[in-house]
Amino acid sequence: MAVINVNGKALNHNADPRTPLLWVLREQLGLTGTKYGCGIAQCGACTVHIDGVATRSCQVPVNSVGAKKVVTVEGLATDGKLNKIQAAWVASDVPQCGYCQSGMVMAATALLAAKPNPTDADIDAAMTNVCRCGTYVQVREAILAAAKA
């Protein structure tokens, strides 16, 4: 049995230490908001924050997490209140199928924390997540709106 800190709680799991964090979150802790898309850190659907840094959890062995603080998409809203990015996402009606959106929201939240007023170039550099429905236009609009909010 090992412990990791997720969304402010110390949670137990019994996965093999080399198991990617993604699958520990999904299969051991029931946090299925973090999605499997490629398993090779290319698509960004599995993005979480590790000590505040947007990280692709499919390439992070769980034993490397240690005492670091993991935040998943389920941990962004506080007392049912959406964070700034989530609220902007709802206001701009961003998601289509929605499968990539957890990762998008996590990447955008980390971007705004680092750069409260991102330029288009900042957005291009930080938002390398894949969306196959093509929500890119609305994603940009929502990030810029959240920055102003």
Partner 1 sequence: MTIQTSLGANSLKRRGFLVSSAAVAGGFSLGFSIPSDADAQSPVKELNAWVVIHPDDKVMIRIARSEMGQGTLTGLCQLVAEELECDWAKVAWEYPTPGENVKRNRVWKNYSTGGSRGIRESHQYVREGGAMAREMLLAAAAAEWKVPAGELKVDKGVITHSSGKKTTYGAVAAAAAQLEPPKEVKLKDPKDWKIAGKPIKRLDTVDKVTGKQLYGIDFTMPGMLVATVRACPVIGGKLKSFDAAKVEKMPGVKKVVAIDGNAVVVVADTYWNARTALAALPAEWDIGKLGEVQTETINAMLKEGLDASEAFVGNKAGDAKAAIDGAAKKVTATYSFPYQHHVTMEPMNATARVTADKAEVWCGTQNGEAALAAVSEAAGLPVGQCEVYKMLLGGGFGRRGRADYVRQAVLIAKQMPGTPVKLIWSREEDMTHCQYHPTTMCKLTGGLDAQGNLVGLHVRISGQSILASLLPGNLVNGMDPAVFQGFAASGPEATYGYDVPNLLIDHAMRNPHITPGFWRGVNTNQNAVYMESFMDELADAAGQDPLAFRLKMLKPKWKAVLQAAADKAGYGKPLPAGHFHGLAQIMGYGSYVAGVAEVSVSADGALKIHKITAATNSGHVVNPAQIERQVAGSFAYGLSAALYGEITVKDGAVEQTNFDSYNVMRMDEMPKVETVLVPTGDFWGGVGEPTIAVAAPSVLNAIARATGKRVRNLPLMHHELKKAS
> Does 135 sit near partner 1 (CB under 8 A)?
yes
Encoded amino acid at 66, one letter: G
DSSP calls for 79-93: TTB--HHHHHHHHTT
The first and second tokens of residue 110, run together, are 């980390």
Per CB under 8 A, 102 contacts partner 1 = yes
Q: Determine the interface stretch with partner 1 among 49-57, 63-71, 80-88, 111-119 (rule: CB under 8 A).
A: 80-88
DSSP, collapsed to helix, strand or coil, labels residue 122 as: helix
Q: Does 1 bind partner 1 (CB under 8 A)?
A: no
Question: Is the CB of 68 or the CB of 99 nearer to partner 1?
Answer: 99
Query: Residue 61, interface with partner 1 (CB under 8 A)?
Result: no
127: contact with partner 1 by CB under 8 A: yes
Which range touches partner 1 (CB under 8 A), out of 41-49, 63-71, 110-118? 41-49
Nearest residue (CB) to partner 1, 53 versus 97: 97
Angstrom distance (rounded) from CA 139 to CA 27: 29
Q: Give the tokens for residue 146.
A: 């959240």
Order of strands across the sheet with 53-56?
9-13, 2-6, 69-71, 47-50, 53-56
If one asks whether residue 118 binds partner 1 (CB under 8 A), the answer comes out as: no
Tell me, by CB under 8 A, how many residues bind partner 1: 60
Q: What is the dihedral of CA 16, 17, 21, 24, to 10 degrees?
A: 30
Q: Which residues bind partner 1 (CB under 8 A)?
A: 15-16, 19-20, 23, 26-28, 30-40, 42-43, 45, 72-74, 76-77, 80, 82, 86, 89-90, 93-102, 105, 123-125, 127-140
